[in-house]
A and B are shown apart, each in its own frame.
Chain A
Amino acid sequence: MILVDALTKSFRRDGRDVLVLDDVSLSVGTGRIAGVIGPSGAGKSTLARCINLLERPTSGTITVGEQELTSLDDRRLQAARRSIGTIFQSANLLSSRTVAGNVALPLEIAGVPRGERRERVAELVARVGLEDHARSYPAQLSGGQRQRVGIARALALRPSVLLSDEATSGLDPDTTRSILALLRGLRDDLGLTILLITHEMEVVRDVCDQVALLRDGRIVEQGDVASLVADPASALGRGLVPARPVGTTPTGAQAWRVTYTDRAVDPGWLAGLQDELGTRVALLGASVEAVGGRPSGHVTVALDDAGLDLAARLGDRGLFAERLGADDEAQPPSAVADLVAAPPTAAEDPGTPVTRPSTTAPSATDPAAGARTGESA
């Protein structure tokens, strides 16, 4: 368990104090994976460094397991840190030691006897899939392999908590996926509590149970990943399953944006709806991802019958529907069949409204703009 309470941290820079963390509170239950996401300079690394007290908090408390770390003296803190495994972005391996030697370091520090040490190292090296590289030096490893060594080392003293600061930054998508799968496996098998610092939304979506968005040293939003994604009003939720460009709404039809608000939505709801209405439901776009093994996200559909209240029909299926743009007449005429996908906007930020080319009127239907109005209401 990790409990961060009212944490502030300021650094002295050029003769004045700069507040880097401002009243940050965070709680991660045992066996949970929590993500901390935020732009560069938000204070993510500082938060991680405060949790293992590499950086002393200016105020506030840090509790890991049963221990309140901020009140401990040097010696007790050293002991307490042994129950916190830390994984670093650059792996921080000793170039002078082999893979096995690097993994053995925390065991040596803790004074584990040689025989036991050797056994444990072999077990850990196997756990991260590096049996064939136990005698290699870090210089001979790939980035992903180095990261695995770092993970094995972090696990050496059987910590209850794992801190990971950008452990997958700079790795290719496949390697990232395998590292994340490894972390999730560790949580499932060992009941580890994991704090994952990252700037990649996919990482949060794929492995985290909960997430906090840090900006300028403050937590702007936090919660369970599944419920944030299910909340049509959550900016963080939309960032986790970003809106993608959707097709143009056909003439005379009504576009709806449907958000999965329930974990137990029937995956066949679209076909069911179509059968029930007896009319074609056109799929204009979908951003549906598995979050916690369940489909989540949102889809945009168009119904020929503009008068139909989709919200009422879908409410009891765990789906939230909102009407998009009132100016369907402004759209160029086209049949449901020949929908064209809008070109994706360049350098699209997750969560920013999708803009589509408006051919005739400035007020052309814009699902994202509609969603924006929808949520401000």
Chain B
Amino acid sequence: MSTVLAAATPWGEIWPLLQPALGQTMAMIVVSTAITGVLGLLLGVLLHTTGRDGLRPLPPVNALLGLVVGIGRSVPFIVLLAAIIPFTRLVVGTSLGTSAVIVPLVVGMTPFYARVVEGSLREVPRGLVEMARAAGASRLQTTLKVVLREAAPGLVGGLTITLVAIVGFSAMAGTVGGGGLGALAIDYGYNRYDGNVMLATVVLLVVIVQLFQFAGDLVVRRISHR
């Protein structure tokens, strides 16, 4: 091992190297997940509401939304990353750096989370919707107080899955100028055979994913009373 990975950074010098990359990665993950969560939730609610069994069935609108989501989900992330560079520039003013990576992450993951949301909402028993309507609730009240609240455990669980996927894609995005742990691992670990940096980034990514997964599970358990 040490013969191949000759240029390994000494363990004492790794942290100063990791720290900024960790900060960039966390920023990418948290901001992308937050924006994806909001947009995906909206899109998912629209998909569900306009669907056949939704509160306001609108087949044409639903078909259009479904098409958009379908396209979004079928483009490989690495292609998307390059394909939407003009759009990224338009939104954040640059196609390089951490903030520029957030745009493709959000665009790529929102359709995914929207489908997760739609699936969770569909799990809410129809009887509950009828109950709310019979009690005089408007469609909006029904959605906010009954459908979303009952689906909350699924929504949070789905967001955790989305976040973990974003961690993976953020590493990929790092290679095209986004920085973060992914870029570090490629720069040092892959290009310079620096085994220590490689190992440290991998361990750090594993820890990050585990922490978020744990936190997500904890929240789900807290809000679920089934």
Contacts and interface: CB of A to CB of B under 8 A. Distances in A.
A110 B224 CA distance: 26
A82 B134 CA distance: 8
Interface string A69-96: 0000000001111101010101010111
Best-surrounded residue of A54, A96, A137 (most CB of chain B within 10 A): A96
A54 B141 contact: no
Interface residues of A, number: 28
A92 B125 contact: yes
Interface in B205-226: 223-226
A81 B127 contact: no
Contacts of A105: 132, 135, 145-146
Given A95-B150, A96-B225, A109-B145, A88 B135 contact: no
A109 B136 contact: yes
A109 B130 contact: no
A110 B145 CA distance: 12
B138 interface: yes
B131 A96 contact: no
A106 B130 contact: no
Contact of A109 (B141, B152, B224): B141
Given A92-B125, A95-B150, A96-B150, A109 B226 contact: no
B131 A86 contact: yes
B219 to A, nearest CB: 13
A7 to B, nearest CB: 18
Contacts of A78: 136-138
A272 to B, nearest CB: 53
Given A88-B127, A96-B150, A110 B136 contact: yes
Given A105-B145, A139-B225, A54 B134 contact: yes
A349 interface: no
A80 to B, nearest CB: 8
A108 B131 contact: no
A137 B224 CA distance: 10
| Chain B: interface size category | 20 to 34
A145 interface: no
A96 B136 contact: no
B138 A96 contact: no
B128 interface: yes
A138 B225 CA distance: 8
B73 interface: no
A94 B128 contact: yes
Contact of A94 (B133, B134, B150): B150
A255 B170 CA distance: 92
A193 to B, nearest CB: 16
A316 B111 CA distance: 81
A222 interface: no
Interface string A155-186: 01100000000000000000000000000000
B226 A139 contact: yes
B52 to A, nearest CB: 14
Nearest to A108: B145
Nearest to B146: A94
A345 B130 CA distance: 42
B152 to A, nearest CB: 7
A96 B220 CA distance: 11
Q: 7 smallest A-B Cβ distances: which pairs? A: A137-B225, A92-B131, A82-B136, A81-B136, A106-B135, A86-B134, A92-B127
Given A90-B127, A139-B226, 15 more contacts: A52-B134, A54-B130, A54-B134, A80-B136, A81-B134, A82-B135, A86-B131, A86-B135, A92-B128, A96-B152, A109-B132, A109-B136, A109-B137, A109-B145, A110-B136
12 contacts: A82-B135, A84-B134, A86-B134, A88-B127, A94-B150, A95-B224, A105-B135, A106-B135, A109-B135, A109-B141, A138-B225, A153-B135
